[in-house]
Amino acid sequence: MTDIAATHNDLAGSLAKNWWLLLLRGLLAVAFGALLFSRPSFSVAVLITFFGAYSLVDGTFSVFSAINQRRQREHWVLMLVGGLCGIAIGLITFYSPGITAMVLLFYIAIWSMVVGISQIIMAVKLRDEIQGEFWLGLAGLVSVLFGMYLIYNPGGGILAAVKVLAAYAVLFGFLMIALSIRVKGLAKA
């Protein structure tokens, strides 16, 4: 039982130590969403490029965090899987720019759900260690719901999903920012 408690303390400590990665991730998501809101007439090709870049950068940050914390975190693999999925989706997006809008919607949906499920699992694991794990779980739930929305409503096409994607990115970004502020407080404690 003490090993489990030590693992959770290490996880909370690792999050607190790397709070700035959560903040950066949140700021990137908000910037991506704001860009989509400000330019709703972006062509599908530009949206594909921006989504690919965002997914690649976000996945890289997740992989970096997971590898950096692999010795301290028992469940670092969850973050690694989410990050690798983001990198893979980003690379697929760049190497297949001629994909249809429908396929891109499914790429986005799958990526969003994998990331969301891993965040919900991490929030459950952290519930006894930090206050505010709710924000991580809520960000995960928003990601899963967004992915499900895209799967069950693909008929609107990619251009109709731009505003939904923008709203998701901004909401997810603010939730990550809130979590980073919360875990930064742990570092001081």
The single residue listed with the structure tokens 């759900």 is 113
Q: Which range of residues forms the domain containing residue 27? A: 2-188
Number of Cβ atoms within 10 Å of the Cβ of 59: 23
Per-residue model confidence (pLDDT) at position 94: 83
Q: pLDDT tens digit string along 130-161? A: 677 788 888 889 889 988 888 887 765 566 66
Per-residue model confidence (pLDDT) at position 2: 46
Residues with Cβ within 8 Å of residue 129, at least 6 apart in sequence: 8, 9, 11, 12
State the CATH number of the domain containing residue 62: 1.25.40
Q: pLDDT tens digit string along 30-73? A: 998 898 888 766 656 677 787 888 889 999 988 988 888 888 77
Question: For the chain, how many structural domains are there in total?
Answer: 1
Per-residue model confidence (pLDDT) at position 42: 61
What mean pLDDT, rounded, does the chain reach? 80
